[in-house]
Structure 1
Amino acid sequence: MARTALTREEVLDTAAALVKQHGPDALTMRKLAAELGTAVTSIYWHVGNRESLLDALVERTVDDLAAITPHGRTPAARIVSVARALRRELRERPHLVAMVHERGLTERMFLPAQRALVREVHAAGLRGARAAEVVRAVQFQVVGHVLVERNRERAPVQSPAEVDLWATETAGADPALARALAAPVDADRLFTTSVRALVDGLLAPRGEGAGSPD
């Protein structure tokens, strides 16, 4: 028997789960209705047609990324926390983020995280062009890291693999380096290390006469 107590939020939750797992092409009104145990007409009643449903999922994704909250005792720590949270959100919903991009809402999606970064950069004493440089550098670091991770995950099996390529002689007579480069990448640790180094460098006082690199 078809269920009756259905809400718009439940429809969106189920639709988002389908997109996350299988991509937007797998989201049909008939499949969504089957997942919810209801009639297709009930789906239309709550969210309209499929395009309206996709628009609602995009808006929800944008709103979800607006909920990022900085944590930490210093501006640098809070900037790193925003970067980590943004990476996590982008990694958890690649198909939904792609839908946001396709609808021309990428800049709006990133705006809340950028504004959080601006507050922390101001708290660190930076203003103007230098503050903007930090905000953009952190955003680019996050997006670039996520793209590299996604490409590595979707790449075909490598032959030879890293474990086959790195030996003492190819690592400059540094066996510890060879072992480390042959081991699986700890993406979480690598991201945190790189973004901390980036932030520390960008927030460090510049010497007299120092400027942006050419």
Structure 2
Amino acid sequence: MPRALSEQETEAFRERLCDVAARLYVEEGPAAVTMRRIASELGSGTMTAYRYYPNKESILTAVRTRGLNRFSQALEDALDTPGDGRTRSRAVRDAYIAFARQHTATYRLMFEYPQADRDDPAYLAAHERMWRTVAAHVEVMIAEGRIEADAPIFGHQIWAALHGAVMLELSGLLPPGFDAASLHTRTVSALIDSARPTRE
């Protein structure tokens, strides 16, 4: 009988399992994500994965849910740093890019491929948390009087520019001398200039 894993070991195994599933999905397509293939990649028995998830759909939901929460936590931590709103917004940008670079398959699975089980409560909560992070740093700049904008809409504008820059970087399609941060800085500077309060 296999030894029962500790809570820490169980979490580490779930993390590895989700990482493998995300990589297989993004690199080889949905058909590659099977319990047998995941077990082979992990070097475990096929039934081991079933101890944690009932099927591959639940694994992919877990990948997205865990990814969204980790992503949101990274952005929240970045926003909770010293400095004015613009400085903290840059910290959020840097945390966003770092997450996409370090967890590329999970990032792509979260945003590039649709979520099938949108009614999963944990996924819905993680998704709502992520939406809040999109506007949070914009709300700081609005409160400081730096910009006048609708926080959710302006946050989505910044997010769209950042996601585009990140995907171009990950695809190797940025011009020489540019990375996601440098391209996004130029785009966001123009957005912020357009949203500066008008002075009488």
3-state SS of paired residue (1:190): helix
- TM (norm. structure 2) is 0.69
Change in Cα spacing, 1:199 to 1:120, as seen in structure 2 (3 Å) is farther
Taking the aligned partners of 2:23 and 2:182, their CA distance within structure 1 comes to 26
Matches within 5 A, 1:190-209: 190-191=182-183, 193-194=185-186, 197-198=189-190, 201-202=193-194, 204-208=196-200
Superposed CA offset, 1:153-205 (max 9, x none): 5x9xxxxxxxxxxxxxxxxxxxxxxxxx7xx3241552464256246525643
The answer for the alignment partner of 2:136 in structure 1 is: 116
Report if the CA contact (8 A) 2:35-2:49 is conserved. Answer: yes
Amino acid at match of 2:103: R
Unaligned runs of 5+ in 2: 119-123
Moved more, 136-145 or 123-132: 123-132
Superposed CA offset, 1:78-111 (max 9, x none): 1111122223323433432343341167964741
The answer for the alignment partner of 1:12 in structure 2 is: 14
Report if the CA contact (8 A) 1:83-1:139 is conserved. Answer: no
Report if the CA contact (8 A) 1:61-1:100 is conserved. Answer: yes
Taking the aligned partners of 2:97 and 2:38, their CA distance within structure 1 comes to 28
Change in Cα spacing, 1:128 to 1:202, as seen in structure 2 (3 Å) is closer
The answer for the alignment partner of 1:85 in structure 2 is: 95
Amino acid at match of 1:113: T
Matched, 1:134 2:177: no
The answer for the alignment partner of 2:70 in structure 1 is: 64
Taking the aligned partners of 1:86 and 1:148, their CA distance within structure 2 comes to 14
Superposed CA offset, 1:42-87 (max 9, x none): 2102222111111111110111111022134111111111122223
Change in Cα spacing, 1:86 to 1:112, as seen in structure 2 (3 Å) is farther
Report if the CA contact (8 A) 1:90-1:97 is conserved. Answer: yes
Matched, 1:52 2:72: no
Change in Cα spacing, 1:21 to 1:147, as seen in structure 2 (3 Å) is same
Taking the aligned partners of 1:113 and 1:121, their CA distance within structure 2 comes to 14
Report if the CA contact (8 A) 1:121-1:131 is conserved. Answer: no
Report if the CA contact (8 A) 1:4-1:38 is conserved. Answer: no
Change in Cα spacing, 1:38 to 1:131, as seen in structure 2 (3 Å) is closer
Taking the aligned partners of 2:51 and 2:39, their CA distance within structure 1 comes to 12
The answer for the alignment partner of 1:99 in structure 2 is: 109
Report if the CA contact (8 A) 1:29-1:50 is conserved. Answer: yes
Amino acid at match of 1:73: G
Amino acid at match of 2:189: A
- TM (norm. structure 1) is 0.65
**Which of the pair has more CA radius of gyration?**
1
Change in Cα spacing, 1:37 to 1:132, as seen in structure 2 (3 Å) is closer
The answer for the alignment partner of 2:179 in structure 1 is: 187
3-state SS of paired residue (1:23): helix
Identity across the alignment (%): 20
Aligned residues, how many? 179
